[in-house]
Structure 1
Amino acid sequence: MSRQIVTSSNIKNAGDATDKEKSSSLAADLKSLFKIPVLIANAVPVFAGFWLALYFTEASFASNLDMLLLTLVGSTLVMAGALVFNNWYDVDIDTIMDRTKSRPTVTGRISLQTVLGIAVAVTVLGLLLLSFTTLEAVIYAFIGWFTYVVLYTMWSKRRYTLNTVIGSISGAVTPLIGWAALEPASHIVPIVLALIIFVWQMPHTFAIAIRKYDEYKAANVKMLPVVHGLEITKRQMVIYIACLLPLPFYLFSLGTAFVVIATVLNLGYLVLAFSGLFTENTRKWADKMFMVSVNYLMVIFVAAIAVTLPLY
């Protein structure tokens, strides 16, 4: 019979392994709590808005680095606060839905009281940092936060299918925040970019709702496909994507290349949406729509930045 010899080295290694597991688990919990991929996706339009404000006002990038840092960190913290509030408030729904059952608010690895404290702290800190830019940027950030936390999460999500329209406002303010940190966001460029995000978010969210139909139904969340069916949802996705078609033509100030890229992207998106009206495998089609929508916004904003890069 073999036996294991316990030494101080064995104990130390076991302790180190446990510490690493705890650290890894905490990192995963925080990533889930703050919805890091969502934060990154929202930071890109903020940066694009800031960058384009520099471009159209011919301001120096180097001399505004401090303002850029305040804008990005401040707006990201405000958005993070809204997302954490959402996790805190939706814990009952998250317990039912498979895709959210591992969130620390559900597992109890982070207490709800702590989560609420984090949400308040990061929101206040974010607004404070933004206050060192402009009042307009703070107002847009607060509108996004209030819309997502109060009007979407607490009021409409469980009551009305229009919750998707209301929630879309929170994402649409991101390029306005970036631009307003330097200049008033009354320019056509940030306004149209905000409209693109607003319209895009509808088919994007509907694709998620179709993919997770059973979960939303079980949680009694008033998503359009759950309340009115898949066919109506598909038709609305086509309509919303068609509404994206004219928007790039208001952005000729970004150059012909941008308009062509955005238009080709819109046409491809629309063709895929139309195919859903005739598909027999709605789930597979919704997966494709989701993947396209996830990349759509990134391509639009990266293109807007790329076509305005200095040629030297």
Structure 2
Amino acid sequence: MKNEQLSAKDKSQAESTSKLTDFLINIKNLLKGKVLIANVLPVFTAFWLALYFTGERFTDYLGTLALTLIGSTLVISGALMFNNWFEADLDKKMSRTQNRPTVTGAFPLRYVLYAGIAATILGMGIMMLTTAEAAIYSFLGWFFYVVLYTFWSKRRYTVNTIIGSISGAFTPLIGWSVIAPAFHIIPVSLFYLLFIWQIPHTLAIAIKRLDDYRQAGVPMLPVVSGVRLTVRQMLIYIIALLPFPFLLFSEMGIIFFIVTLTLSIIWMVIGIQGFRTKDVARWSQLNLRYSLFYLILIFAVMILMTYPGVAA
């Protein structure tokens, strides 16, 4: 009898653990985990850089950092939830989005909408506790992503990629403006970097998932104009990243310049290979992975080069 009770208790605990795991996985899928991290990382990087270049101590701003990260994460999460709520019908038609809780029914659509509204309002409220400028950039990023990208352009125009890229480019302005006004070469250059970077990154996804987008009727560039033209557009935007290290040479030093320029040239070489490849899906996957490596390494180098005692 005792063994049966223990077995029932273990079974109940296992079921609880399984439910919690499923819930966390659904949250990750709802908030597009990698997308969320890719947006919060520039916020932290720009915050860190602003402290360095204004001569402030990191330890004096831990509370401000917490407000910034929590507030910006909530605003970004709210935008992503609005996106999932509005695009549930499209996600049902695409294999890459079949696991989202708005498709499986794990989270009712109305609750996702309510959560998106709540996260946005709470996040904006927290950002207002930092600086007005940071709150404005947070709102602009949300507005471009939710209203101009999700609600307006995603289903209508190939320019949706550019509009979505503008949204993500506001993140370094948020992090920097918490400490100092963002009219500075570093946050402006980071805005430029993220705006340009997101276009070939997103187009690589569009090529990789071409059948999905075609089936869902989303007017991504390779769906409307073909893969070859998309490859050419990707290369143009990759080349447009070449000025970035020159913009920050005087601020970040020679090591940053060499690393960043090298990364951009490597990506350009990969981009050129797209005109000769016989396996465009594999090539697009390589571009996708390299684009993430490219961005993460640039931010890592920027943080490392401004760490006390390491800056060039």
TM over 0.5: yes
Give the distance between the partners of 1:259 and 1:69, measured in 2 at CA. 31
Please report how far the alpha carbon of residue 286 of structure 1 lies from its aligned counterpart in structure 2 after TM superposition: 0.7
What residue is the counterpart of 1:190 in the other structure? 187
Shift of 1:62: 1.0
- Which residue number in structure 1 is paired with residue 125 of structure 2? 128
C-alpha separation between the residues in 2 aligned to 1:6 and 1:308?
A: 60
> Aligned partners of 1:225 and 1:171: how far apart in 2?
22
TM-score (normalizing by structure 2):
0.96
Structure 1 residue ranges, 4+ long, deviating more than 6 angstroms after superposition: none
Counterpart in 1 of 2:230? Answer: 233
Counterpart residue number, 1:75? 72
- Matched with 1:34 is 31
Query: 1:51-93: CA deviations, max 9, x gaps?
Result: 1111111011111111111111111110011011111110001
Summarize the alignment of residues 1-312 of structure 1 with structure 2, pairs less than 5 Å apart.
7-252=4-249, 253-311=251-309
Shift of 1:206: 0.5
SS at structure 2 position matched to 1:279: coil
Query: How far apart in 2 are the matches of 1:62 and 1:9?
Result: 49
* Residues 259-308 of structure 1: CA deviation (Å, up to 9, x unaligned): 11110000000000001111111111111111101111111111111111
For 1:208 and 1:250, the matched residues in 2 are separated by 28
Residue 223 of structure 1, CA deviation? 0.3
State the Cα distance separating 1:234 from its structure 2 match.
0.3
Name structure 2 gaps, 5 residues minimum.
Answer: none
Q: What is the CA RMSD across the aligned residues, in angstroms?
A: 1.4
The 1-side partners of 2:14 and 2:79 are apart by 34
In the alignment, the residues of structure 1 paired with residue 10 and residue 53 of structure 2 have an alpha-carbon distance, to the nearest angstrom, of 58
Measured against aligned partners, the alpha-carbon deviations of 1:140-182 in whole angstroms (never above 9, x if no partner) come to 0100001001100111000000000000011100110000011
| TM-score normalised according to structure 1 size | 0.96
- Higher alpha-carbon deviation: 132-141 or 15-24: 15-24
How far is 1:14 from its partner?
A: 2.1
> Using the alignment, how far apart are the partners of 2:304 and 2:9 within structure 1?
51
- Any idea what SS the aligned residue of 1:244 has? coil
Q: Structure 1 counterpart of 2:257, which letter?
A: V
Deviations 1:125-152 (A, max 9, x none): 1111111110000000100001001100
Instruction: Report the alpha carbon displacement of residue 185 of structure 1 after superposing the two structures with TM.
Output: 0.2
* Alignment partners' CA distance in 2, 1:54 and 1:6: 60
2:276 is paired with a residue whose SS is coil
Identity of matched residues, %: 49
